[in-house]
């Protein structure tokens, strides 16, 4: 039947499809709150920090409370922020020992509570995938409403030189 259908094509032509109209209505509350609610609903752990100093103190406390040993970060901006407070490994040759990976992100998706990362970030493809626990550092300015807006932001940021890998992380991995 499939072969017959491919040979005898239908004359039916679908009407023009509108790809521009939004499917989902806009958020009624601020994106920060919507992201936090949706992220925690999919079992993500969320900590809002007032500033970078607050972030560092929360991170130090989190790592000490859980007795985590091998913490990796390849992002120079994050390393600069936490230098002097934590022992961070940034040697790519030792990535097989990674327990905790700290990375930035391209954006946070408020509607789904997802984190969008790409291969063009300092951590590349490796750190988010190798680490048992992935800590994402993001700013409220990186929060967008939906995935479409996130992809637009990446396209604008990289000016047509889109990363070879864009991943939308929606909750903890089942593995």
Q: What would the pLDDT profile of 59-96 be if each residue is shown by its tens digit? A: 999 999 999 888 999 999 999 999 888 888 888 888 88
The predicted pLDDT at position 2 comes to: 86
The predicted pLDDT at position 26 comes to: 66
CB neighbour list of residue 71: distance below 8 Å, 6 or more residues apart: 63, 86, 87, 88, 89, 99, 100, 102
Chunk the chain into consecutive blocks of 10 residues (it has 175) and report each block's average pLDDT, rounded to whole numbers. 81 72 74 93 91 94 90 92 87 85 95 94 85 92 94 92 92 65
The predicted pLDDT at position 130 comes to: 82
The predicted pLDDT at position 20 comes to: 75
The predicted pLDDT at position 88 comes to: 87
The predicted pLDDT at position 160 comes to: 77
The predicted pLDDT at position 27 comes to: 66
Greatest Cα pair distance, the chain, in angstroms, is 71
pTM for the model = 0.81
């Amino acid at each position: 039947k499939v072969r017959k259908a491919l040979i005898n094509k239908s004359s039916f032509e679908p009407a023009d499809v509108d790809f521009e109209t939004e499917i989902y209505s806009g958020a009624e509350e601020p994106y920060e709150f919507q992201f936090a609610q949706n992220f925690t609903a999919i079992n993500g752990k969320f900590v809002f920090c007032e500033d970078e100093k607050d972030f560092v103190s929360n991170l130090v406390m989190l790592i000490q409370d859980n007795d985590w040993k091998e913490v990796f970060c390849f992002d120079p901006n994050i390393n600069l922020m936490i230098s002097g407070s934590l022992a961070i490994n940034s040697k790519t040759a030792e990535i097989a020992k990674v327990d905790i990976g700290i990375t930035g992100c391209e954006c946070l998706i408020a509607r789904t509570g997802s984190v969008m990362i790409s291969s063009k970030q300092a951590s590349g493809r490796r750190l988010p995938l190798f680490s048992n626990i992935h800590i994402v550092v993001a700013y409220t300015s990186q929060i967008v409403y939906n995935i479409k807006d996130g992809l637009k932001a990446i396209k604008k940021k990289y000016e047509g030189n889109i990363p070879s890998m864009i991943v939308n992380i929606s909750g903890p991995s089942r593995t």
